[in-house]
A and B are shown apart, each in its own frame.
Chain A
């Protein structure tokens, strides 16, 4: 075997090893991406849930109830409202 053959053999070996390593890395990254996607979906769902809860807490029925019963407020009416006109 001459030197050229040996060099080529070594190169082949390095290439094969790096291919295996690259594949391994690709899989790892893919798994990480999958995990991130699941996390993204979960966060999305959490957002929707929080948005729903916020809506539930801020809906007219609840505000009216709290304002009337807990804060003892009465509805606004035009006779107690001041309407300010912009000066021309």
Chain B
């Protein structure tokens, strides 16, 4: 008998079936295979979801800021610039309800609003509320230091206009989004506007940028804009108009100064004006750029144009004598003058501003077609193409529709309409020996050749006539400028009220200086002067005089006229002697 050991007793031998271990082995193998497959899936074809999640945690798309271009005057002086500002935002679900009264008070005072108003804003339903926009960086820094949870700051730009009221109508203004709303800001929006870029970056756990993945779009700063306006001349023109409007209790006024050599607009002033830095007052009448957008019957300022056609045609000469008389009957209403004239030469018709004389010249020697052709050639009836929003063209009806009475009245500026700017432009013809100069509001200081519409001879004859207007016997002695020979034409037009002419007037003066070699054309308009005289020669001519003498001094133009010792007259003789001595010494030193 085989001995049986204790540990090997056959009764204790466990006979497990083979399939069980095989099954276990298979199951384990299967599970591991599944895990392996899953791992392969996650890292291989099915990893999009996880990758996106990872990217979301570490990558951000950030904006690359771009600024709006500056607007500069002809001397490179800033007249509109964008400075960084902050908008203060409240994330109302994060701002604690039990915010201390002290912090609310401080925040309200920094935002310049009442505590009640601030609390109301913080309790609004919306998640995100703008507490204030375009806050100065220094104040924004103080708000940040208050460390109120849920109060955030966003970058934005604010536009500043250092020239304020004087330049408002030229530059215009932008809205809170930094988009142009008026003036050059609107018309050159495309060039001025900046286009922000975008880039993708990797951020760390604290949100700091640690790596740049790609620049998705490059930022583009807006281009700077150089205007032809001279801020000094603009300022003095604005002040001259403003003073006249206030002195004569007028409704409004405007002036334009053109450089006859380069065709540049040196000044374009309007009053009443507004401060573009103050957003509260950016509505209403004051926004109107009257020089460009208001049309009116140009009245007597048209007479030189009519006479010029007759001179050019050879029908009359400056010294041709004409019978004027008390009335001239064309159509139902007779044409009259303010004074009774017997005979006048053509030159005197301009000097005295005779309606009858001008109408007779037109009716006797000009056809309506010839008049229409010339008026259109000098730019009447067409909006000036200087890229200004709202510039209007006025009306010159087709000559075929003109009745004789229309022709007679259009000759001296009624039944036709134009803006002050168009009148000024038409006068460049006299300043430039018969050429109409193309005008621009962008800086381009080169001499421009124009389109010839008159012979040089006629233009020079017209200049001599225009000068007589400002001499004794003329209608605008007050237009004389110290040191310079000037010429121009007054205009006093009845304003159309409803269907007829009421008791309201517009006073104009359009002229050029210095007569010996014209450098500037200036046109002035004062609307509804009520205090004292309403005549162009009394109201608008003094404004012309101030603008001309100061502008020509600014441009360093040599005087072409004798000067009177006006300022030193009031001083005692000793003072005058010393002053003369000092000036002589200056000459010697040089």
Q: Which residues of A contact B210 (CB under 8 A)?
A: 27, 30-31
Determine whether B549 belongs to the interface, using a CB cutoff of 8 Å to chain A: yes
**How far does the alpha carbon of A18 sit from the alpha carbon of B361 in the complex, in Å?**
98
B483 touches A79 (CB 8 A): yes
Q: Mark B255-269, 1 if CB is under 8 A from A, else 0.
A: 000000000000000
Interface size class of A (residues with CB under 8 A): 20 to 34
Find the B residue at minimum CB distance from A45: B84
Given the complex, which residues of A lie within 8 Å of B563, measured CB to CB?
A: 78-79
In the assembled complex, the Cα of A77 lies from the Cα of B564 at a distance in Å of: 10
Q: Does A56 contact B (CB under 8 A)?
A: yes
B79 CB, min distance to chain A CBs, angstroms: 8
Main secondary structure of the interface of B (DSSP, over half): mixed
Is there a chain B Cβ closer than 8 Å to A84's Cβ? yes
Contact A59 B83 (CB under 8 A): no
CA distance A51 to B81 in the complex (A): 9
Residues in A with CB closer than 8 Å to B565 are 79
Q: Measured between alpha carbons, how far is A41 from B26 in the docked complex, in Å?
A: 67
Please tell me if the beta carbons of A55 and B553 are within 8 angstroms of each other in the complex: no
- Residues of the A chain whose Cβ atoms lie less than 8 Å from the Cβ of B81: 48, 51-52, 55
Q: Which residues of B contact A80 (CB under 8 A)?
A: 567-568, 579, 583
Q: Are A75 and B235 in contact (CB under 8 A)?
A: no
Select one of A30, A52, A59, A75 contacting B211, CB under 8 A: A30
Residue of A nearest to B201 (CB): A34
Q: When the two chains form the complex, which single residue of A31, A34, A59 contacts B162, counting CB atoms closer than 8 Å?
A: A59
By CB atoms of chain B within 10 A, which of A31, A52, A83 has the most?
A52
* B residues in contact with A34, CB < 8 Å: 209
> Which has the most chain A C-beta neighbours within 10 Å: B162, B163, B209, B232?
B162
1/0 per residue A39-67: CB within 8 Å of B? Answer: 00100010011011001101111001000
Does B550 sit at the interface, judged by CB under 8 A? yes
Given the interface contacts A52-B160, A59-B162, A60-B236, does A75 sit within 8 Å of B550 by beta carbon? yes
Contacting residue for A76 out of B231, B553, B583, CB 8 A = B553
Interface SS of chain A = helix
Encode contact with B along A13-35: 1 for CB under 8 Å, 0 otherwise. 00000000000001100110010
Contact of A77 among B83, B208, B483, B558 (CB under 8 A): B483
Residue of B nearest to A62 (CB): B162
B residues contacting the other copy or chain, number (CB 8 A): 40
Asked if B330 CB lies within 8 Å of chain A CBs, one says no
Closest chain B CB from A65 CB (angstroms): 12
Complex CA gap A41/B160 in Å reads 19
Write out the residue numbers on chain A whose beta carbons fall within 8 Å of the beta carbon of B553: 76-78, 81
- Contact call B564/A79, Cβ cutoff below 8 A: yes
Do A59 and B163 form a contact, CB below 8 Å, given A30-B212, A78-B484, A83-B559?
yes
Which chain A residue has the least Cβ–Cβ distance from B562? A79
Given contacts A31-B210, A79-B563, contact A60 B586 (CB under 8 A): no
A59 proximity list for chain B (CB < 8 A): 162-163, 231, 235
Decide: B166 and A77 in contact? CB cutoff 8 A. no
The answer to whether A83 and B558 have CB atoms under 8 Å apart is yes
Give the complex CA separation of A10 and B212 in angstroms: 33
B78 touches A52 (CB 8 A): yes
Chain B nearest Cβ from A88, distance in angstroms: 15
| Among A31, A45, A55, A84: residue with most chain B CB under 10 A | A55
In chain A, what residue has the closest Cβ to B231? A60
Chain A residue nearest to B232 (CB atoms) is A60
- B450-497: which have CB < 8 Å to A? 482-484
- Given known A79-B563, A79-B566, contact A52–B83 (CB-CB < 8 A): yes
Asked if B590 and A84 sit within 8 Å, CB to CB, the answer is: yes
Q: Tell whether A82 is near chain B: CB-to-CB under 8 Å.
A: yes
Whether A51 lies near B78 (C-beta < 8 A) is yes
18 pairs, CB–CB < 8 Å, chain A vs chain B: A30-B211, A45-B83, A52-B78, A52-B83, A52-B162, A55-B162, A56-B162, A61-B163, A75-B550, A77-B549, A77-B567, A78-B553, A78-B559, A79-B482, A79-B567, A80-B568, A82-B586, A84-B587
Chain A positions near chain B (C-beta within 8 angstroms): 26-27, 30-31, 34, 41, 45, 48-49, 51-52, 55-56, 58-61, 64, 74-84
Knowing that A55-B162, A77-B483 touch, tell me 18 more A-B residue pairs with CB under 8 angstroms.
A27-B210, A52-B83, A59-B162, A59-B231, A59-B235, A60-B232, A61-B166, A74-B567, A77-B549, A78-B482, A78-B563, A79-B482, A79-B563, A79-B564, A80-B567, A81-B553, A84-B587, A84-B590
